Structure 1
Amino acid sequence: MFDFITKRSFGINLLVVIALFFALALLFFSMLGVITKHGQQLVVPDVRGKNVNEALALLEKAGFEADVRDSIYIDSIPPLSVWVQTPDKGAQVKVGRTIYLTVNKVVAPMVKMPDLEGLTFRSAEMMLRSMRLNVGDTIYRPDFAANTILQQLLNGKRIKPGTPVPEGSNITLIISSGTGSIENPVPNFIGLTFAEAREMLSAANLSAGTIIIDPGVSDTANAYIVKQVPARMNDIGEFNMVRAGESVDLWLSASKPVKDSVAPQPQPTEE
């Protein structure tokens, strides 16, 4: 069967093999353009913002393969819409090239609320962005620590650090504007419950400073104020003054104090 090979000399067989190799190589390189679709290029269409199903159909119709590579959550675009495409729109690529898509998630992932209280506004803003949360409303309130975060709110309610919140949520920040420039008489908190005193403090744009609690107190909110610093009046009967944003120290007791029947009157000022 192989007589036609064995009867020939080794040199002739070698030449035949070499000729066959070059013929096959020539055929391969001549077909390489067809195999790799050389010269057949298409412009990548823009599918960003489109629904993922619409984007896949559009890309396949245009001669591309398409694949969802990743997902992300962006609250400003509809769910399942394309956020990023690779290669980008306008790129010239070969027919059949795979276009990779990053799609917006349907449900926002949950993240833990960071502790922003006490930070500067700039630091709080950077931390929120790193957690994929947004700065919502900013409300300024008098307090001695200017430009620091006093409270963090979600949907109008104070939110504790570590509470799971949806990514993309708008966080309202209560920010200190510093102390006010106008002095007013210190309110009288003696005899009020701690809950009543807190309401009065808030109405006067003041804050509770150090709270000293008597050992017999079991219900702090309903405990009575028996001492405050600064007091309503000083030793010579003049009103002590306080500015918005300052604090008042309070002493709490389980027993309501007995007020004097005659309160000290402020001294008249000399003309």
Structure 2
Amino acid sequence: MVGVPTAIAILAFEPPHGATALLALLLLAAAAAGFREPTPLWYIERGWAVLLAGGFAVSTALAPTRPILDRSLLTVAIAGATVAAMGAVRPELLVGLDWQVADQFERTLARYDFGWLGGPPAEAAVRQFAALWQALYPAMLVLASVSALAVTVYLLGRVRGEESALPPLGRFRFSEHLVWVLAAGLVLVALPVGAWADRAGGNIVTVMGGLYVLRGTAVLVWLGASVISSGWIIAAWTLAALVLYPVTMGATLVVGVSDTWLDLRSRLGVAGNKE
């Protein structure tokens, strides 16, 4: 998801220099690893990467000055709409995709011996967690794709010789209107509509939750950089955040959602640029 979009973007938007063209070809060659004995998931992974590459080229051509996250979300929307259209024409494709993912989870779990973990109770708990993870794999794919496209933007910037290919984390924010997407996901989860609504809502909430956790982290990073001058104190707070990650995740989520209305960085003295 990094190599293919980066290679296509270099070939589409960069001058045809030998070094950059060679880099693009090397990235495509790395993405083609395993072509001699491809599995169905091999084709699925590369197919999604190709859709991301095409969507990123379109979004960059249409809105080259838009923030990175806006272009990344548009890219994922284009790729997702393409998959949905293919599924509408051939529903068995989406059924087969879901089956392949479920089979991958099952084969992964089959490698482990749960006896030393506590036997059947431990296995039941792990399988319950795996079932949740399996239901949310579209959301995980969206978040992974957005992250991969950020790496793509960084690599493109380095190819162009930009010193700051990505803006500082402390300036990260996105459109306040996306909070309504989070609200729609919560409504789908809460309403007794059916299993499809639960899964769709859960995936929407997971994606938006991940983005708001990142936004909350950006607020805390900006606050720490503005208030704390000692590197040791920052390191101690970072270590505590990692150790107490369940509390940290909840706190950063609350901060991220609150920043939608309160604009904490502006209220505390500095207005962050949207990125």
Q: How does the TM-score come out when normalised to structure 1?
A: 0.19
The structure where helix makes up a greater share of residues is 2
Report the structure number with the largest CA radius of gyration.
Answer: 1
Bigger relative contact order, structure 1 or 2 (CA pairs below 8 A, ≥6 apart): 2
Q: How does the TM-score come out when normalised to structure 2?
A: 0.19
The structure where strand makes up a greater share of residues is 1
